[in-house]
Amino acid sequence: MAEDITNRGTMVADGAKRMTKVVVVESTHWHAPLYYGALRKREDVRVVGVSDSARLTGEEVARQFGCTAYASTPEMLDRERPDFAFVFGRHVDMPALAAALIERRIPFAIEKPCGLRAADVLALRQRAEAAGLYVAVPLIFRLSDTLAILRQAGGALEHGSFRFIAGPPQRYLRAGVPWMLDPALAGGGPLINLGVHFIDLFALLANEPIVSVSAGASSRMNGLPIEDVISVRLLTAGGRLGTIECGYLFPSDAALQRDFEFACRLERSYCVSREDGILVRRWQEDGSIASQRIPARFETDLYYPEFVRRVLDESASGAAPIAGLADAQRALGVVEAAYRSAAQGGVPVDPRNFDA
C-alpha cells in the first residue's frame, strides 16, 4: 500500500534542520561497504535500518550504525519510514526491491544493473516517473576523471575501445555472493556486472542511439555457466564504433586488481590510457600535434563516496540524478543484445528490441 509521505522531509515544523533517515537494503553486496564511510560523515544523515535476507552482514552493519537489522526489506520500510534508501541485493531481486520503494514513494539509489532485463527496468522507470520519484543508479564513470578528461578533449566520440579484465570469479564466493556465478540470478557474468559502465560511457560520449550490437563470448577457462570473457562491438545510428572487452581472468591481488585500458578518437583529439593518467594528443590549426599527459584516477571505488554525497543532495534539492533508470535500461538493452548475439555466433542484434 502506498504510504503518505507528508510526514517525511528534511525540515520540522519549527524550522530546525531534521536528520535524513536512510536505510541500507540488502547489505550483503560487495559494493555496500563503499557507501558506509560517506554515510557516517554526513552530519544530516542517520542510518535507521539495514536489511539482509542472506543474514550474513546485516547484524554487523547495523551494529556499526547503531540501528536495527532486518531480514525483511518491506518490514524495515514500514517500521522505519525512511527518507532515502540505498539498494543492493541480487540482480534478480532488484526489480521487486525497487518496486517496494516506489510503492511507498521513497526516493532511492539502486546498484546496477537494476534487474536482469531491460524490460524490467523500463517498467520500474515508468512507475517511478509516474510517481515523480527520484531514482539514481551508480554508473560510476559519470563521476570519474576519465569522463571529465574525455569531454574536455573536445567533440563527440568517433571510435572507442575499452578493456576491463577483473579478477577470477572465485572472489565472489569469498565475498559471500555465490549467486553472481549463476546466470539465472545475476543475468550473466562480467558484461552485465562490469560492461554496463563502458556501455554507458560510450553512449554518453557518442551521443547517438546504439543500433547494432555483435559479440563473442567464452566460458572455457573457468568452466562456469557465466562467460569468462566477452568482446562486444557497438555501432551507432551515425556510424560511430565502439568495442568493449571485459572478463574475469586477471590474476588479481590487493596490489593490482584489474587490467584496464582504453583508447578513444574524438572529433579533435585522440586519448589513450596510461598507467598514471591519460595521454591526450590534439590536432592544432597549423597541422601540428599537441601532446599532454593528464593525471587521472582509474580506481573506481574512489568515486562511490562522491556518489553518496551527490545523490543525497540531488534528492533533497529536487535535482535530476546524475544517472537514472533510463540510463540503466539503455545499458541493459545492449547487454541483452550482446548475449543474444554471442549465442547466435556473433550476428548483429538491435538493442532497441529489448525494451518491451
- Find out if CATH 3.30.460.80 is the number for domain 20-139+305-322: no
End-to-end CA distance of the chain: 26
* Confidence check: pLDDT of 9 > 60: no
pLDDT digits (tens, 9 = 90+) for 73-98: 999 999 999 999 999 999 999 999 99
pLDDT digits (tens, 9 = 90+) for 95-134: 999 999 999 999 999 999 999 999 999 999 999 999 999 9
Query: What percent of the chain clears pLDDT 90, i.e. is strictly above it?
Result: 89
pLDDT band, very low/low/confident/very high, at 17 (cuts 50, 70, 90): low
Helix axis angle, 145-153 to 196-206, nearest 10°: 20
pLDDT band at 15 (very low <50, low <70, confident <90, very high): very low
Mean residue pLDDT across the chain: 94
Q: Within 10 A of 30 (CB to CB), how many other CB atoms are there? A: 15
Which position has the grid cell 559502465?
197
SS3 326: helix
Say whether pLDDT at 291 is over 90: yes
Predicted pLDDT of residue 356: 65
Beta bridge partners of 161: 243, 263
pLDDT of residue 350: 98
Structural domain boundaries in the chain:
20-139+305-322, 141-298+332-354
Is residue 2 very low, low, confident or very high in pLDDT (cuts 50, 70, 90)? very low
Q: Which tens digit of pLDDT belongs to each residue from 158-215?
A: 999 999 999 999 999 999 999 999 999 999 999 999 999 999 999 999 999 999 999 9
Domain 141-298+332-354: give its CATH architecture: 2-Layer Sandwich (3.30)
User: Residue 196: what pLDDT?
Assistant: 98
pLDDT at 1: 36
pTM comes to 0.93
Q: What is the pLDDT of residues 244-277, one digit of tens each?
A: 999 999 998 888 888 999 999 999 899 999 988 9
Residue 310 vs residues 42, 305, 323: alpha-carbon distances, Å: 12, 9, 11
pLDDT at 52 over 60: yes
Is 16 a residue whose pLDDT tops 60? no
Residue with cell 536495527: 68
